[in-house]
Amino acid sequence: MSQGYRVEDPATGTVVEQFDTIADAQLDTVLATAAEAQTAWAAKSIEERAEVIRRVADLFAERKDNLAAIIGQEMGKRVTEGVEEAEFAGDIFRYYADNAARFAADQPIETDGGDAMLQRLPVGVLLGIMPWNFPYYQVARFAAPNLMLGNGIVLKHAEICPRSAAAIQDILVSAGVPEGLYTTVYADHEQIAAAIADPRIAGVSLTGSERAGAQVAAQAGRHLKKAVLELGGSDPYVVLDTDDVAEAAQTAWATRMYNTGQACNSNKRLIVMDDIYDDFVAELTRLAQGMTPGAWADEDESVYQPLSSRPAAEKLVEQLKRARDAGAVLQTGGELAADGAYVSPAVLTDVPVGSEIYYEELFGPVATVFRVSSDDEALRLANDSQFGLGGAVFSTDEARAKRVASGLEVGMANVNTPAGEGAELPFGGVKRSGYGRELGPVGMDEFVNKRLYYVEG
């Protein structure tokens, strides 16, 4: 059951501050104001909009330390990771400020008998429903391209992220974003359903769970609204060969532990060739056993932070129990602390392929490892998933890695790197990982009226 908007220390479970949910009448005012503000914003030139959005980027950079502290308190993110996230959010706003005019430029169409042009125009006010695991980055990749395009935004953040949601709001207001154009609402599920149904909302973007995505997609479809969904992932991370097994395992482990394993595109299934498998698992186990719990402000790499909440930790431990019941082997870790949301980092092997738990996403500090004996087997296993967000393939033979990576059924395939990252690189998946894309040139191509403008010759 929802506990409402609050700051809850994940290390202890103590509720530090609570926030009131918006009243229905206030929400109606927000929607009316947003519609009016969006019309005025869309009338501005894209260059005028860019001046404001560049100031947004500057403020993310200037306030990064404070922003990191806020999300450390809210969801337990390590300080350096919080600073990196705030910087990345600023980079995204700057990327669209610098490139939106080119992305949204009129596109001539060759035709007989007249002049044809494809125009990219805003569609109106959008509803964004954002998650807690990357409180700034997730908002930036939705808000930046759409504000530059001329759309308005009503933003519902995760219930455990009210302070970071308010911090983003303050940055945009301080940068000169017009009143009402971007508004944070502490709304409940019924109010969000009402907003999706409201004709003043033109589309909805959600990053979250499969369950939430299915509900929002159904509501949007019922009211003929476009939706963009970025949902879960169980990304394959294929290690075909390596000159240094320990180093390869250390890279995989560092990737898996980033944000305490709470990333949609984290390497949740490590698929390792049998000749290096035993040493690889042994190194992972050593690394896991060398970690100790600590606070979000602790920068020691051998310290792990809590998960976002006690319920999230309890769910992960319950999944590990079901994995063991199905025949998997828990090499180490997976222990729930007496208090708070700490789960000791775990290494899980021998999960039966095809079992119920095999197809679930493990959202936390768990490295699940599979043994394979050929490239074809590695690819079959990688694609045996209901998700299709990202994937990575590693080999000292780049051509070999490319062959396997080219067969991955994902939205983002990577060779010899855990993930390609940058404001210019599109993000999104296939299968049950959702649909639509954010970031890069295609990030401005979702909530847009691709209007044909035709003049008879």
366-410: pLDDT as tens digits: 999 999 999 999 999 999 999 999 999 999 999 999 999 999 999
pLDDT for 107: 96
At residue 431 the predicted structure's pLDDT band, cuts being 50, 70 and 90, is very high
pLDDT for 113: 85
At residue 97 the predicted structure's pLDDT band, cuts being 50, 70 and 90, is very high
Question: Residue 235's CB: how many other CB atoms inside 10 A?
Answer: 31
- pLDDT tens digit sequence for 29-46: 999 999 999 999 999 999
Alpha-carbon span 294 to 304, nearest angstrom: 6
Alpha-carbon span 145 to 148, nearest angstrom: 5
pLDDT for 275: 98
- pLDDT tens digit sequence for 193-209: 999 999 999 999 999 99
Distance from chain centroid for Cα 273: 29
Return the residue matching tokens 């700051």. 7
φ/ψ (deg, to 5) at 383: -85, -5
Residue of 400, 421, 317 lying closest to 364 (CA atoms): 317
At residue 3 the predicted structure's pLDDT band, cuts being 50, 70 and 90, is confident
pLDDT for 167: 98
- Would you state the structure tokens that stand for residue 309, as one six-digit string? 């909440």
At residue 2 the predicted structure's pLDDT band, cuts being 50, 70 and 90, is low
Query: Which is it for the CA torsion 64, 65, 66, 69, positive or negative?
Result: positive
Alpha-carbon span 283 to 277, nearest angstrom: 10
Alpha helices in 44-112 (DSSP H): 46-62, 64-75, 79-103
Q: In angstroms, what is the C-alpha Rg of the chain?
A: 23
Angle at 62 between CA 58 and CA 68, to 5 degrees: 120
Amino acid in position 168? I
Mean pLDDT of the chain: 97
pLDDT for 416: 98
Alpha-carbon span 105 to 324, nearest angstrom: 55
Alpha-carbon span 113 to 430, nearest angstrom: 40
Residue of 30, 34, 29 lying closest to 181 (CA atoms): 34
SS (H, E, C) 321-373: HHHHHCCCEEEECCCECCCCCCECCEEEECCCCCCCHHHCCCCCCEEEEEEEC
With H, G, I as helix, E, B as strand and everything else as coil, classify residue 374.
coil
* Kind of pairing between the strands at 412-415 and 390-394: parallel
Distance from chain centroid for Cα 168: 17
Are 347 and 331 contacting, i.e. CB atoms less than 8 angstroms apart?
yes
The arithmetic mean of pLDDT across residues 264-284, rounded, is 98
Alpha-carbon span 181 to 150, nearest angstrom: 10
H helices, E strands: number in the chain = 13, 22
Residue of 343, 342, 341, 365 lying closest to 8 (CA atoms): 341
pLDDT for 457: 80
Return the residue matching tokens 């997609």. 217
- pLDDT tens digit sequence for 134-182: 999 999 999 999 999 999 999 999 999 999 999 999 999 999 999 999 9
Alpha-carbon span 135 to 71, nearest angstrom: 7
Residue 1 has pLDDT above 90, yes or no: no
Task: Return the active site residues.
Answer: 230, 264
- pLDDT tens digit sequence for 222-263: 999 999 999 999 999 999 999 999 999 999 999 999 999 999
Terminal-residue alpha carbon distance, the chain: 62
Alpha-carbon span 287 to 8, nearest angstrom: 29
* Kind of pairing between the strands at 125-129 and 236-239: unpaired
Alpha-carbon span 454 to 378, nearest angstrom: 51
Residue of 449, 446, 451 lying closest to 204 (CA atoms): 446
Alpha-carbon span 295 to 318, nearest angstrom: 24
Alpha-carbon span 9 to 75, nearest angstrom: 7
Reported as half-sphere exposure (CB side, CA atoms, 13 A), residue 92 has a value of 29
Q: Which domains does the chain have, with CATH numbers?
A: 5-231+432-456 (3.40.605.10), 236-422 (3.40.309.10)
